[in-house]
Structure 1
Amino acid sequence: MRIRRTLTVAATVAAVAALGFTGAVPAQAAEYSSALKIKGVQYDAPGRDSNKCSGGNTKNEYLTIKNYSKKSKVNLKGYKVKDRAGNTFTFKANHILEPGDYVHLRGGRGTDSDGKNVVYRQNCNFMWNNDKDTIYFYKPGGAPADIHAYTKKAHDKDGNGYIKYHG
């Protein structure tokens, strides 16, 4: 049985490679070889949605990215986050994540801080849709690091606007 399963996985990988990765692979279709993964997303910021830079709640919408490596530091510079509509954020500055460390990528404007584990998109518009969306996370070379699709109905059972992916 084990050999058969290995052959099936190998055949699937070969078929995907032959077709080429176009970004259209369904979310959660594969585990990617990346130390950095999406831990969770606060896709629906608490309170009434307001994308005003002053007094709005876009800072309360965030994506948590964690370094799941037990030994290696990872620099976020060059990593890219994208939603289904094509809204994109690229980490342009060095931001080192120690093993087990995380960062919140928040909406709104603010000062990035390694000490507070936060990077701001410097954009007051919401990135994640409140009903459904797909989160694409890419390595600096363009290879997928992690991808997750969500719908409010299927993935947010307690209705708090937060979805957890990796522990």
Structure 2
Amino acid sequence: MRISRTLTAAATTAAVAALGLAVAAPAQAAEYSSALKIKGVQYDAPGRDSNKCSGGNTAAEYLTIKNYSKTATVNLKGYKVKDAAGNTFTFKNSHTLQPGDQVSLRGGRGTDSDAKNVVYRQNCNFIWNNDKDTIYFYKPSGARADVHSYTQKANDKDRNGYITYHG
């Protein structure tokens, strides 16, 4: 019986694809109308987690946001990043991304730099969970720019603490 069900499900999937019918995709796979998207996340900083401002490794935890537009320059001011628990970071200063440019949003304290494409959260606590989390990225208007959920087991096969979303 199980084999029959599997074949039937496979046949149904093939028929739907052959007819060109739309198949519902999970919410995290939805493409939002935004030039800026989450390229990847280093959700588990290398080494033993230490959120001490001096000598800790929260700066090694980062989110990479990329401007995928071929023509538009985008200012990050007002964009928000949020996790599943509601921890939020808002880009308060101007930081422009040229087409194809990217920025690393790092934990810890540091000096933001357009030249080095880095913004610091100015917070020494980790934001991303090491086992699973959801990353929300919002435009200044409040519209969702991108979202991705992950679990270490399903999404980080090599266990290096980094997951790529958009190449």
In the TM superposition, 1:77-88 aligns within 5 A as 77-88=77-88
The aligned counterpart of 2:164 is 164
Whether 1:152 aligns to 2:157 is: no
Identity percentage over the alignment? Answer: 81
Give the letter for the 2:115 counterpart. G
The CA deviation at 1:27 is: 4.2
Distance 2:36 2:158 in 1: 26
Secondary structure of the equivalent of 1:28?
Answer: helix
Larger radius of gyration: 2
Aligned residues of 1:27 and 1:134 also touching (Cα < 8 A): no
Distance 1:148 1:124 in 2: 23
The aligned counterpart of 1:23 is none
The CA deviation at 1:28 is: 1.5
Whether 1:126 aligns to 2:110 is: no
Distance 1:118 1:94 in 2: 12
In the TM superposition, 1:89-100 aligns within 5 A as 89-100=89-100
List structure 1 runs of 4+ shifted beyond 2 angstroms: none
Unaligned runs of 5+ in 1: 13-25
Give the letter for the 2:66 counterpart. K
Distance 1:117 1:142 in 2: 24
TM-score normalised over the length of structure 1: 0.85
Unaligned runs of 5+ in 2: 1-15
In the TM superposition, 1:3-152 aligns within 5 A as 27-152=27-152
Distance 2:108 2:46 in 1: 14
Supply the RMSD in Å over aligned alpha carbons: 2.0
Aligned residues of 1:40 and 1:163 also touching (Cα < 8 A): yes
